[in-house]
Amino acid sequence: MPMGHTATQAGSGGLTATEHRLANGLRVVLSEDHLTPVAAVCLWYDVGSRHEVKGRTGLAHLFEHLMFQGSKQVQGNGHFELVQGAGGSLNGTTSFERTNYFETMPAHQLELALWLEADRMGSLLAALDLESLDNQRDVVKNERRQRYDNVPYGTAFEKLTALSYPDGHPYHHTPIGSMADLDAATLEDAREFFRTYYAPNNAVLSVVGDIDPERTLAWVEKYFGSIPGHDGKPAPRDGALPDVIGEELREVVEEEVPSRALMAAYRLPQDGTRASDAADLALTVLGGGESSRIYNRLVRRDRTAVGAGFGLLRLAGAPSLGWLDVKTSHGVEVPTIEAAVDEELARFAAEGPTPEEMERAQAQLEREWLDRLGTVAGRADELCRYAVLFGDPQLALTAVQRVLDVTAEEVREVAAARLRPDNRAVLVYEPLDHPEPDADGAADAGADENADEEAAK
């Protein structure tokens, strides 16, 4: 069975993974787990909204939908019908930095999932016509209406992203794209996008679960090995920016929303760095859940907010964003909230986290890591993530140790350097009238809501 190379094996906490490469460039990561008779297949393509050009935004997300509209051997909705008929589940998502597709199957149905993924990678263009393009273009436009344009605070992520990254920056627009650009996309635009990015040498395939590695590799070679690679992919545009914005950027939005809101995005270190892990710990202490400083101050003590969260949108190709999301209590003005937030940030920058806060934050991030790696689907996704974004899937198995190695002083330093008024984009929501706020409050991290564009299937 012709393979380009087989990488060494590494492990953490009893978890292992091996990496292999087909002659056409497809990277394959396998991780055995015989605890339950299921297998997860995850395929990451190195293409997201950052790869799009002005005037053609939304193509990456549009293709996430088109990939479920049939290929040479599978007609129409057949991908869903075959997977679900075999007892499996499936979906796909798009982000700034990648598009992924995934199935979780009974272990004895693994070959079916691999065949389906290979068929659409190798032959989607045989089924892609103007009818399917127009159909899914309308689906995506309707998704935009339902998730962004016609819900309270729905365009907050889009607005803050546009404020945080300057015009022309690859992260200036979100994966959903614009209505005008979706309308302007032609069939040839779609075909060229697929030829450029949906090639085996631009993808990582992970298979995790109750598998036989030798048999799994044989199936991968059988179904993917004959798909030709593509060498015409342009390099992504440079996403580098100064560490600090240099001024506060602010926009006030008057809309039909349940309550006033303060949202802010802070420019933070890129993912994959020790400073990014320190920033994650800082935001966890400050706003990660009901035990956090900002939640305790605004919701429990002052009772000026019905919800408050502070979370990290990790990005590998550009500065990450620290996302603050506060929904005010009835009658409370945003300046009151903002002054309290700035007071807490200044105190944290001066004093840093207490030992108890560090222990709690590290335990929280460790639990989240264990949750991701504890399921075959989550582990498959993490292995792909580290392979595509950082070149090494083994980093997924040791990520938590890097968080645990961060010191309290490093956490204080990154907060002092980055969580400043001159390093944030601010969005203030003012209701057209002032009804009682929604009791559900704010999300822990508003950025997470739209960081991945889930397929509306």
Which are the catalytic amino acids? 64
**What single string gives the DSSP state of each residue in 388-425?**
HHHS-TTHHHHHHHHHHT--HHHHHHHHHHHSSGGGEE
- Give the number of other Cβ atoms within 10 Å of residue 282's Cβ: 32
With H, G, I as helix, E, B as strand and everything else as coil, classify residue 427: strand
The residue whose two tokens read 């309707």 is 142
**What single string gives the DSSP state of each residue in 60-120?**
HHHHHHHTTSB-SSSBTTHHHHHHHHTT-EEEEEE-SS-EEEEEEEEGGGHHHHHHHHHHH
H-run or E-run covering 42: strand 38-45
Q: What are phi and psi of 227, to 5 degrees?
A: -75, 125
Nearest in space to 28 (alpha carbons), one of 217, 164, 260, 174: 217
* The amino acid at 226: S
**What single string gives the DSSP state of each residue in 107-172?**
GGGHHHHHHHHHHHHHHHHHH--HHHHHHHHHHHHHHHIIIIITSTTTTHHHHHHHHHS-TT-TTS
